[in-house]
Structure 1
Amino acid sequence: MLTKDTLDLILGNALTAAQAKIDFPHGASLAVLPEAVRLHNLEPHELHRYRFRGRMATHSIADFAEYVKRHAAAAEENAPAGFVDQDNMSSIIIFNLGTIDEPGHGDDTATLALKATAAFRSLTKTVGNPLSQQDLAEWLEDWQQHLTALMGEEELPLLQAINGIRRMTIDSKKSSTSEVGDFSASRSQMDAIEARSLEVLPTGFTFEAVPYDGLPPVTIVLRLSVLTGSNAPILKLRWVGEESQREAIAQDFKRVLHEQLGDGIPLTLGEFQLIK
């Protein structure tokens, strides 16, 4: 059975060990604590926080840039850095990322997520999808301020192009031949199907719009195709050079962001995640 003196000695040694800090090379530290010890953060009871940390989020490039420049000036010693995600048209600035030698906590950030304009959202929902004559004609009427109709390389009045789509019909011409012999009979049949209109049909369109708030406008070329496999024509719009133009829009995003922020914060294409 342990005596009182022995228990006091054990308790004293435990308290001494709990107050000791173990330092390792390169700045790492550990503390030894009894298993049942609970840690309490007293920061919520202080007048001020121990250090600034928070997350700002916006869809506006102008407001994002204003906040970042104002906040980065106070956080310059913490080596802020920015990352641009071109796929999601977003960016994050980490004000206390720090450096390799003096890494920060990375919990003071500002996030920008660009919002597509109504015109660009409508375009991306429409291209590549099968449309009836009425659907396409109504879409063209709704967004006519952004559209120019084309007939080959020449411009076509938009109202004339819309009327041509509304008055489109499917013509089916059928021809057959037959041959009869003593012991056999054969017949061949060919259907010639084409789309016609009482008006001039457009071959495509150009669509000019600002893709995302804060970016410059772009001109998108659309080609019109007609599917004639049913009684009524099915129409599709194809975005010519979509992938390369989306990449160009993403480059515009980085360029505009750099112009707004200046050279004070380095921007890197890609995503970044702190590992805890």
Structure 2
Amino acid sequence: MLTKDTLDTLNAQAVAAAKVSIETSGHTLAVVPDNCNLRNLEEFQSHRDRFRGSLHTHSLKAFAAYVERHIGGEDDKGASGFVDQDAMRAIVIFNLGTPDEAGHGDDRATLTLKPTAAYKALTEVIGRSMSQQQLAEFLEDWAPHIIASAGEQQLNTLAAINAVRRMQIKSTSELNSEVGDLNNRRSAMEEIEARSLETLPTTFVFSTKPYDPLEVAAITLRLSVITSDKAPVLKLRWVGQEAQQEAFAEEFQQVLEGEIGGLLPLTIGTYSQGN
């Protein structure tokens, strides 16, 4: 009587002798004796069954050139692009296919815009509490990008920086005391004022490209001086920040449309592959 192990061995030898292979769309599978599992033979072939991979770049020109080379002809498998405006990122999926003939979606190119050095430095100080020295050093580092003003008066940038450095807090106190037969009242008033030996700037205009493919933007900054301590605390506030950042995202979309919009459809949003 044959045991189970003996039967498994005979079956395995029969499968191996039959050299059974299965041709599927884009793959060659072989039936191997190990419990008659299917095994992909791609790793043993001279070429892969299909092209797949992922490109990641910060360069719009490199991204557009790669997409153009990759699209069209017999290799066109239903390419689509998706633009994530919040992340300033675009993803092209070359083999997405169609709803009727879905592709594998594993051949992609991703563009993530990298902020310029000036824009990155600016975003790092927006809303941050700074000392006089910290703000002055920031202004000195990026002076070529900055126009300072006090109200309607435009200031020399170096003079504006010097005004920040020479800022002082002036404190004056007034004490009132009144004594009567039935009451005793005492009050104190203290006035604290931030002053400078130079004209103190109230507004800065910081001009820079936020991201390399975009145009130069003029970003308006308001200077706030907090005088609740012995030394003044300074903050820069970006006027209209959300609206201007939305404009950057819209410009990004327009630049992409100009570069690759004629090659494939672009959709605003993100895409995730289902199982």
Instruction: State the TM-score bracket (shorter-chain normalisation).
Output: 0.7 to 0.9
What residue is the counterpart of 2:218 in the other structure? Answer: 219
Give me the whole-angstrom Cα distance separating, in 1, the residues matched to 2:205 and 2:127. 15
What residue is the counterpart of 2:126 in the other structure? Answer: 127
Give the CA deviation at 1:77.
3.5
What residue is the counterpart of 2:235 in the other structure? Answer: 236
8 Å contact kept, 2:76–2:94: no
Give me the whole-angstrom Cα distance separating, in 1, the residues matched to 2:262 and 2:179. 86
Give the CA deviation at 1:140.
0.3
What residue is the counterpart of 1:28 in the other structure? Answer: none
What residue is the counterpart of 1:166 in the other structure? Answer: 165
What residue is the counterpart of 1:24 in the other structure? Answer: none
Matched letter for residue 245 of structure 1: Q
Give me the whole-angstrom Cα distance separating, in 2, the residues matched to 1:165 and 1:154. 16
RMSD of Structure 2 on Structure 1 (CA): 2.6
What residue is the counterpart of 2:105 in the other structure? Answer: 106
Listed as ranges, the gaps of 5+ residues in structure 2 are 23-31
8 Å contact kept, 1:81–1:93: yes
8 Å contact kept, 1:226–1:235: yes
Question: TM-score w.r.t. structure 2 length?
Answer: 0.87
Give me the whole-angstrom Cα distance separating, in 2, the residues matched to 1:268 and 1:178. 72
What residue is the counterpart of 2:70 in the other structure? Answer: 71
| Worse overlay, 72-81 or 252-261 | 72-81
| Worse overlay, 150-159 or 220-229 | 150-159
% same residue: 53
Listed as ranges, the gaps of 5+ residues in structure 1 are 22-32
What residue is the counterpart of 1:30 in the other structure? Answer: none
Matched letter for residue 231 of structure 1: K
User: Partner of 2:137: helix, strand, or coil?
Assistant: helix
Query: Which string of whole-angstrom CA distances, capped at 9 and with x for unpartnered residues, describes residues 170-217 of structure 1?
Result: 111111211112243110111111111110011110000011122211
Alignment of 1:79-158 (within 5 A): 79-158=78-157
8 Å contact kept, 1:132–1:235: yes
Give the CA deviation at 1:73.
2.2
Give the CA deviation at 1:35.
9.7
Give me the whole-angstrom Cα distance separating, in 2, the residues matched to 1:173 and 1:160. 27
User: Partner of 2:204: helix, strand, or coil?
Assistant: strand
Matched letter for residue 46 of structure 1: Q
Question: TM-score w.r.t. structure 1 length?
Answer: 0.86
